[in-house]
Amino acid sequence: MIIVMSMGATEEQATNVRDQLRSYNLTPHDNYGTQRVVIAVLGDVGPVRDVLMGKLSVMPGVESVTPITRPYKLTSRESHPDDTVIEVLGKRIGNGTLTIMAGPCSIEGRDMMIETARTVAAAGATVLRGGAFKPRTSPYSFQGLGVEGLQYLAEARKETGLPTITEVMEPGQVEVVARYSDILQVGTRNMQNYSLLTAVGKAGRPVMLKRGYGATIEEWLMAAEYIVSSGNPHVILCERGIRTFETYTRNTLDLTAVPLLHHLTHLPVIVDPSHATGKRWLVRPMALAAVAAGADGIMVEVHPDPDAARSDGEQSLTFDQFGDMAHALFKIHDEVRTLIKDPFAMTGPAAIDGASKH
């Protein structure tokens, strides 16, 4: 933590800052310049970091307070250099293979779920998705089949042998969802639902945490930190677009987050081009781009008859479209892996703070 005193700050004010630091058992290091004093605190400040920064920032004579360590620990690559690889029903996520999660937005019935599962499995999908509890912007929209949907999903797993993923919306649902599904998904609107994060942290199942559409990468990793610090190290991150001023697309897919996250954290990174773009014909180019950027996998919505879908039909692929796309994704993934031996060869160092916006 770096405390910059203002140009006119008195020695007494600097002393008060040092005393405040010592009251937290921290050691201040002085840096005297011709115009001002800068006080540094090295090492890990621990859980008081944010409160202490707030206090210091309004002390008389203080110009600014800047953290020098990131607030996430367990999810940072600095503390855990090796990639986290998650294994579910024999499928590995984050080990260099391409993960493809596919299935309907909402599970609308038994037959459509089984049929979709068989088709996407045949085309190379490695995880089945399907929504049973649906968070909908409007209270008047279809809210999902609930437990009945979970049963169909479990049946699809049995049919195909593929692991499944589905969303859980509240702590009270965690147990039942964990009973039927292999991976629990926390949706974009619940990324900072801390009660839910803590609950899935204790569920004994891998969790895929979607980025909040208004969340910074740091907040996203802090949300993952909630899950990991509750006892669950098996977290997958899923980029699905952020909110910007652009209105021609539903969200702005932030693909730069992929290489950035691979640098900051050891957790696998999946990209969801369906929700980011909101349009079927934008899914394929953005899925290809995600794989080229180094994503560990993608998640897409597939429906036997998208025009009849009860939710998100406009962004769902047909079976044929999915098959063509999966074929292309595996080819590009192989090519990129062959060409790019060392993804960080360009790295040298990797400072990312203090980046002024241009």
The interface with its own copies within residues 77-116 (CB under 8 A) comprises 78
Helices (H) and strands (E) in the chain, counts: 11, 14
Instruction: Tell me the number of residues near its own copies by CB under 8 A.
Output: 149
Task: Report, in Å, the least distance between residue 91 CB and its own copies.
Answer: 24
How far apart, in whole angstroms, are the C-alpha atoms of residue 243 and residue 247?
Answer: 9
Residues 14-53 that bind its own copies (CB under 8 A): 29, 31-36, 38, 40, 42-44, 46-47, 49-51, 53
- Main-chain phi, psi angles of 29, to 5 degrees: -110, 125
Single out the segment in contact with its own copies by CB under 8 A; choices: 85-93, 155-163, 166-174, 202-210: 166-174
Site string for its own copies, 202-241 (x = CB under 8 A): ----------xxxxxxxx--x--xx--xx-----------
- In angstroms, give the least distance from the CB of 155 to its own copies: 26
Q: How far apart are CA 198 and CA 224, in angstroms?
A: 10
Q: Within positions 299 to 358, which residues make up the interface with its own copies, using CB under 8 A? A: 306-307, 309-315, 317, 321, 324, 327-328, 331-332, 335-336, 339-340, 343-358
Residue 163 or 306 having the CB closest to its own copies: 306
Contact flag: residue 159 with its own copies (CB under 8 A): no
Whole-number Å distance between alpha carbons of 88 and 309:
29
Q: How far is the CB of 110 from its own copies (least distance, A)?
A: 21
Is the four-CA dihedral 149, 302, 240, 96 of positive or negative sign?
positive
**Least distance in angstroms from the C-beta of 341 to its own copies:** 10
Would you tell me how many other CB atoms lie within 10 Å of the CB of residue 347?
Answer: 10
Minimum distance from residue 289 beta carbon to its own copies (Å) = 4
Alpha carbon distance 62, 64 (integer Å): 6
Q: Which of residues 240-299 bind its own copies (CB under 8 A)?
A: 242-260, 263-264, 275-286, 288-294
199: tokens are 């609950």
The secondary structure element, H or E, covering residue 128 is: strand 127-129
Cα gap 293→10, rounded to integer Å = 51
- Nearest one of 57, 11, 7 to 33, comparing CA atoms: 7
Q: How far is the CB of 156 from its own copies (least distance, A)?
A: 23
